[in-house]
Every structure is written in C-alpha cells, then in structure tokens.
Amino acid sequence: MRLGSSLRRTRGGGGRRPRKKREARAKGGSASVRERAVLGAKLALLGILGWGIGWLVVTQVLLPAPPPPTDLVTVPDLNGIAVRDGEVRLAAEGLALGLVDSLAHPSVARGLILGQSPLPGQLARRGTDVRVMRSLGPETRALPDVRNVDASRARVVLETSGLVVLEDSVESEILRGRVVSTRPEAGTRVALPSEVRMSVSLGPALIPMPYLLGLQQADALALLDSIGLVLGSVDEVAGQEWERGVVLDQEPKPDTLVERGSAVRLAVGRRGG
C-alpha cells in the first residue's frame, strides 16, 4: 500500500465527522427556537386569561353595576296644548308641572305650551318637575300715524315698528310722494309681524287747460271754476273795439295738463272808459 493513498483516506475520513456535528447542532437550535415560541404563546394566553378573570371579578364581585332604576317614566309631549291640560297629562305619568315661563310668539295662540324640559320621549323619575314655556300670543302694537308724511320716511317708521309695508299709488290732493292713508288705519292695534298697506299720493289729477281765447272774461271765469281751476291775475291790453273784455291770451296755454286748483292768468282787451 502506498503511503499517499493511506494519507488521503485518513484525511477524507477525518473531514466527514465535523459535518455531522454541525448538522446536529443546527437541528438542536431549531428545536430550541420552536420551544421558546410555544412557551411565549402559552404565557401570553395565560396573561389574557388572567386579565379576563380579574376584570370579571372586579366588575361582577367587587364593584358590580347598580341595578337599573324601576321608577322611570317617559315624559309626554306637551307642545301645543294648554298648560292646565299639560298638568293633567303629567300627573297621569307620575310627573309634576314645574316652572312656567312665558314668551310672545307670532303664530302660537296665547296660553298654549311652546316647549318643555325634559324633552318629550326622555326618561325621568316619577315626581320630576317638568318646566314648560307658555305662549303669550302675538305681540301687538298701535299702528303709527304716518299720514301726510313723506313715503320713504313713513316706511322707515313702520318697518322699525315690526310691520311689513306694502305700497300703493293713488291720485290725491296731497302733495306727490306723501302718504294718503294706511290700511289698517292709524291707531289700530295689530299683531307683530303684520302687513300694513300704505297709499302714496301721485299728486292731484291732471286736467287739460281749456281754450279760453275769444271768450268774455266772465264766461272764462265760469268755465275755470267748473273744472276746479282758479283765476289768477288779469291783465288788460290794448286792442280793437270788439276785443274789449275778451280773452286775448292765457297762461297756461290751451291743452296744457295742470293740477286742479292751479291759477290761470288771463290777458283781456282793455275796456273803454
């Protein structure tokens, strides 16, 4: 046998033994990790179980919840009924009428309940006082007198009084833009808010100026008076004999639109003396 072959066998055999030891150590290490993981899971489960048992002991044995009250009733709805009827309804449920406040309301009739505390549907112990708010009905106010007042100023007065202003226009002898009347009339007590209709003057009705030229002064004066116009100044001017006392000129001119009560100036032929 050769020395070289013996040495190779010796070296080769000596190299296989360390690999088996490493594999054994690796298998032993994996088993150890699994064991630790299982142990940790068991400890966590025991901790959760212990916490649950402790919570049950505290809440059910040491500090149990109080039993639910047996004297609770449902608060009835009192809105829209009279205070006396509300008191009867509360008594039927074992409740009592408490403090009664009052408040003006534009649409709920006087004496009816507007609100309550506790609210309808809530639970309350028997004997609890229920506070209610009673309506005083709409607030009322006497309508201010704004007749013959400028319309814009009258509107401010009425609106600051809590009224809603509607406006009409009418012909009137009152100056244009001033209030002729209101509906309801001034002094009437009205609920707030409420509507008031205000009639505003367009001024006097306009009429066409008649044709006066060629009429005698007396006839012209009668015509003016019949249509609501008045004679102003009369000037005498020189003219022919047949023009004496005859209207030769007029101001305003014929067919001009004028207000009733307007003054008319005439020029007539001078009379002989």
Q: What is the pLDDT along the chain (273 residues), one digit of tens a residue?
A: 454 454 455 454 444 555 555 555 555 566 677 787 777 788 888 788 878 777 776 667 666 666 667 789 999 999 999 999 999 999 999 999 999 999 988 889 999 999 999 999 999 999 999 999 999 998 888 999 999 999 999 999 999 988 999 999 998 888 889 999 999 999 999 988 889 999 999 988 889 999 999 999 999 999 999 999 999 999 999 878 788 899 999 999 999 999 888 999 999 998 765
**What are the start-end ranges of the H helices in 71-215?**
83-92, 151-160
CA pseudo-torsion sign 36, 37, 38, 40:
positive
Alpha-carbon separation of residue 6 from 3, 13, 15, 51, 152 (angstroms): 5, 11, 14, 70, 133
Q: What angle do CA 119, 120, 125 make, to 5 degrees?
A: 80
Task: Please return the burial class of 207, using the count of CB atoms within 10 Å of its CB with bins 0-12, 13-18 and 19+.
Answer: middle
- Helix (H) / strand (E) containing 29: helix 3-57
Q: What angle do CA 85, 91, 96 make, to 5 degrees?
A: 95
What pLDDT was estimated at residue 46? 79
Return the structure tokens found at 220. 């012209």
CA 92 to chain centre: 38
